[in-house]
A and B are shown apart, each in its own frame.
Chain A
């Protein structure tokens, strides 16, 4: 579904990674783990079109999307739930969701837009009933867990094929983290391709099918999530952690 081949990017003239390759199949999930500063967020920003591809290529559903910017990436179905959720507190919950449909609004005709947005809202509200209850309240007034639901719902409003999540469990209580992952599980079963970055690897590894462990912009482990997870546990046991 989504594939990177020999990708390189960075900030200014400073490279973060030079040669990144992986593929995630339709309806499957990949975890990206690694310590702080490993390049996890950079990788997601690159996939979301917020950073330019220096070398290499990115394909979505077989199409080369390397040259597309952030807005067009959403158009081809790749959407990012950013780190810290970045909910708009000056917008209501429902306005946050409507903002997620910005590209839908541009791509369809008037009558189709209303239906698409109403369908989208209905889908999000039936998945996260709490958002329906709070739809006229400020997005900033939600709890951390509710904000994460809103961030996911907002991303779903663009009808993505690939959902990128940056630290969805950050700052959430373990019970809420489980709830978030239960919803991600549901989305994966419905055919969505998911890429999740987590610094704390344990929870995401049981969710993901494949995994990538980064350190200093290099892939140090890659493969089946279960095996990667076991390697990480071994590394922790013998080296005292550090690999994530």
Chain B
């Protein structure tokens, strides 16, 4: 029983840490631009294709990951520059709709270029082989997922809390017009935030595809929804909120996976959304968030 519950916690924290990063990438753009970027999952999908395509020309794994990181950050910056920056003064609802458009467009291009069929995304076996530590099975990937999340979180927290650029980001997030009066350049802040969000997406994509091993054009929905659920659970407007929400979602799924019978497990997402509905009714600002509007 002890080992079983430890296993549930280890599994939950490792997947939860990935959700935490996903949610953080989403909430970062939200806090500065005031809208939920539904094209965020498209970054993950295209990162998957970047690994698959680089691998198909015979590149070693480390190189495929490097190419993927660069590609994802560039794609994220391009998204910010061409899809969102032109609307920087528009109401957030406009940006929210734009993000749906971007998600659909990126999906259509993926279908056109790669077809509907799932593609294999390679992973070195050493990453996913489990070893037993005192009866608890754990893989190198799970340790990496946790470790990378901690590194990204600490780095991001330092950047936002301890640097002058972090001051500019927080100021622009709170009151963009007043920040401009202090000499802050909102378009530049936007691009940097998209770049950071791209780095976070690339880290998530590495862990994500090492775990599931395939990518298809419609795979953007799952990461976007996971991020969204985590953000709703934990709350928007803080760094802490999405992280707590992501970990909670991971633990919740892990607990469900250990208790539910196989035929009920198919409804795992339904249970997760049930939890979201519950949280929205009981504590709409999330477990650790501030009160915000979806398009503020």
A43 to chain B, nearest CB (A): 15
Instruction: For the A-B complex with A89-B174, A90-B171 known, give 19 more contacts whose Cβ atoms are closer than 8 Å.
Output: A50-B177, A50-B180, A50-B181, A71-B185, A86-B175, A86-B181, A88-B170, A88-B175, A90-B174, A91-B167, A91-B171, A95-B167, A98-B164, A99-B167, A99-B171, A99-B182, A100-B182, A103-B183, A105-B164
B178 at the A/B interface (Cβ < 8 Å)? yes
* Chain B CB within 8 A of A154 CB: yes
Nearest A residue to B182 by beta-carbon distance? A99
Q: Check if A102 sits within 8 Å of B168, measured CB to CB.
A: yes
Listed by A's residue number, 26 A-B pairs whose Cβ atoms lie within 8 Å are A50-B181, A70-B180, A70-B183, A71-B183, A71-B184, A71-B185, A74-B183, A75-B183, A82-B181, A86-B175, A88-B170, A88-B174, A88-B178, A90-B171, A90-B173, A91-B171, A95-B170, A99-B167, A99-B171, A99-B179, A99-B184, A100-B182, A102-B168, A102-B182, A102-B183, A105-B164
Contact A80 B181 (CB under 8 A): yes
Give the interface SS of chain B, mostly helix, strand, loop or mixed: helix
**A158: CB under 8 A from chain B?**
yes
- Indicate if A48 sits at the interface (CB-CB under 8 A): yes
What is the interface of chain A, defined by CB distance below 8 A to chain B? 48, 50, 70-71, 74-75, 79-80, 82, 86, 88-91, 95, 98-100, 102-103, 105-106, 154, 158
A-facing residues in B152-203 (Cβ within 8 Å): 164, 167-168, 170-171, 173-175, 177-185
Residues on A with C-beta less than 8 A from B181 are: 48, 50, 70, 79-80, 82, 86
Please give the distance in Å from A183's CB to the nearest CB on chain B.
Answer: 20
The answer to whether B183 and A86 have CB atoms under 8 Å apart is: no
Decide yes or no: A99 and B180 within 8 Å by CB, A86-B175, A89-B174 being known contacts. no
Q: A121 vs B167: C-alpha distance in the bound complex, in angstroms?
A: 16
**B165 CB to nearest A CB, Å:** 10
Q: Give A158 to B181 CA distance when docked, in angstroms.
A: 11
Q: What is the interface size of chain B, counting residues whose CB is below 8 A from a CB of the partner?
A: 17
Q: Could you say which of A75, A82, A95, A106 contacts B178, with CB atoms under 8 Å apart?
A: A82
B178, A86: Cβ atoms under 8 Å? yes
The complex places the Cα of A158 from the Cα of B184 at a distance, in Å, of 12
- Spell out B's residues near A (CB within 8 Å): 164, 167-168, 170-171, 173-175, 177-185
Could you tell me the distance between the alpha carbons of A75 and B171 in the complex, rounded to whole angstroms? 19
Q: List residues of chain B with CB within 8 A of the CB of A90.
A: 170-171, 173-174
Contact of A71 among B173, B174, B178, B180 (CB under 8 A): B180
Shortest Cβ gap from A169 to chain B (Å): 19
Q: In whole angstroms, what is the CA distance A90 to B167 when docked?
A: 9
Question: How many Å lie between the Cα of A70 and that of B168 in the bound state?
Answer: 16
Shortest A161–chain B CB gap in Å is 15
Cα of A213 to Cα of B81 in the assembled complex, Å: 44
Which residues in A have their C-beta under 8 angstroms from that of B180? 50, 70-71
Give the residue of A70, A75, A98, A106 whose beta carbon is less than 8 angstroms from that of B167. A98
Tell me the bound Cα distance from A50 to B167 in angstroms: 21
- Chain B residues near A95 (CB, 8 Å)? 167, 170
A89 to B178, CA, bound (A): 12
Nearest CB of chain A from residue B238's CB, rounded to whole Å = 10
Q: Provide the bound-state CA to CA distance between A91 and B182, in Å.
A: 14
B97 smallest CB distance to A (angstroms): 22
Chain A contacts for B171, CB-based, 8 A: 88, 90-91, 99
Whole-angstrom distance between the alpha carbons of A75 and B173 in the complex?
23
CB distance from B183 to the nearest CB of A (A): 4
Give the one of B167, B174, B175 with max A CB within 10 A.
Answer: B167
Task: Tell me, in angstroms, the Cα distance from A50 to B181 when the chains sit together.
Answer: 8
**Chain B residues within 8 Å of A71, by CB:** 180, 183-185
A158 touches which of B170, B177, B179, B183 (Cβ 8 Å): B183
Q: How far is B185's CA from A50's CA once the two chains are assembled, in angstroms?
A: 12
